[in-house]
Amino acid sequence: MADATPADWIIHIIAMPWKVFFAVVPPTDYAGGWISFFCALAAIAIVTILIGDLAALLGCAFGISPFATAITFVALGTSLPDTFASKSAAIQDECADASIGNITGSNSVNVFLGLGLPWAVGAIY
């Protein structure tokens, strides 16, 4: 803690509610991990609701239609983690093969699940 910079403290303070929120998930030793699993599902649901409300608020504040706001946030939500994973793979790999594979694979999954899953659900129902 003595080596922490002011930027480290700011990030720590900003992240504190999230750290407390995720610290309440019990260990996987309880009930074969089922309690942890359902707590993680509840945490995902809460974060999803929070992000949806924040996206709607941002769209309302900027006068953007809910459809455009939803598409933008879904695109950012699916692309940013892949971008950081590709950057990490490119830094760690000598020839950057892993990052190219990650880009191709993540885009394929996004397209195939993003188009195929709603289409299948729509066809079934």
| Residue-level pLDDT at 33 | 87
User: Which segment, 28-32, 71-75, 81-85, 104-108, is predicted with the most confidence on average?
Assistant: 28-32
- All residues at 6 or more sequence positions from 22 whose CB lies less than 8 Å from its CB, including other chains: 43
| Mean pLDDT, the chain, integer | 84
Contact 87, 103 (CB under 8 A): no
Whether residue 1 has pLDDT greater than 70? no
Distance, CA of 81 to CA of 19 (rounded, Å): 19
Mean pLDDT for the stretch of residues 59-69 = 87
Q: Which DSSP state fits 34?
A: H
SS3 95: coil
What is the Rg, in whole angstroms, of the alpha carbon atoms belonging to the chain? 19
